[in-house]
Amino acid sequence: MIEIIRMEDPAVAGEIIADTFSVDEISRWLIPPEADRLPIQRRFFTMYATHALDHGDVYGITEAGELSGVAVWFAAPFPAIPGEDEAIATFAGEHAERYATLGREMEKLHPHEPHHYLAFIALVRGRTGRGLGSLLLEEHHRRLDDHGIPAYLEASSEASRRLYLRHGYVDMPERLQLPAGPVMYPMWRAPMAR
């Protein structure tokens, strides 16, 4: 049985997101040495999932009671994480400047009107390709559509961009090009009539 739940433990969400994203291009750009990547990313994603518990929603999807994926949403505009730069400097060390660069580049393109922001969606390795990511998206989209609220995200790969296109997102006018790094795809979803 598949069930979508509200997550209460941000560390569990952070662990899944970090593990899933540890091999993606953005994470490899942020933290080139593979040995450093997972512990840094766990702290980063847990920090964001913790903030989302107060300023958005953190969902999990379970199969037969076992957690298979998570989604972290924010209701924008939302406040910055108190002490975020200092915290990242503490756990990311020499990689902190790349996090700052990523944050600045994302902020330049982030829309200012009210919306919900999908910060992260991740499935446990081996659980992809079975529609679980779509179920996680649809859970929150129903709520947004019922209230006439748009959504925004940055797809971190062409594959994830294709998933979001299938769920009603469209490309924003400008892509996000990291310095000497990968491209991200800012996308917007207008609320749909149900």
Domain ranges of the chain: 2-189
3-class DSSP state of 120: strand
Predicted structure pTM score:
0.95
CATH code, residues 2-189: 3.40.630.30
- CB atoms under 10 Å from CB of 43, counted, come to 16
What gap in Å lies between CA 160 and CA 149, rounded to an integer? 22
Higher pLDDT, 146 or 34: 146
Beta bridge partners of 115: 76
Q: Judge whether residue 131 has pLDDT over 80.
A: yes
> Distance (Å, rounded) from C-alpha 74 to C-alpha 79?
10
Q: Is the pLDDT of residue 190 over 80?
A: yes
Tally Cβ neighbours within 10 Å of residue 111.
Answer: 14
Averaged pLDDT for residues 127-143: 89
DSSP summary character for residue 95: G
Place of tokens 């291009």: 25
Average pLDDT for 10-15: 97
pLDDT attached to residue 139: 92
Residue 31 has pLDDT above 80, yes or no: yes
Q: Write down the pLDDT at residue 168.
A: 97
Contact, 147 vs 193, CB < 8 A? no
Per-residue pLDDT at 142 exceeds 90:
yes
Q: Residue 88: its pLDDT value, please? A: 97
- Of the pLDDT bands very low, low, confident and very high (cuts 50, 70, 90), residue 96 is very high
Q: Is the pLDDT of residue 54 over 80?
A: yes
Q: Closest Cα partner for 46 from 12, 75, 94, 79? A: 12
Mean pLDDT, residues 144-155 taken together: 97
- SS3 of 177, please? strand
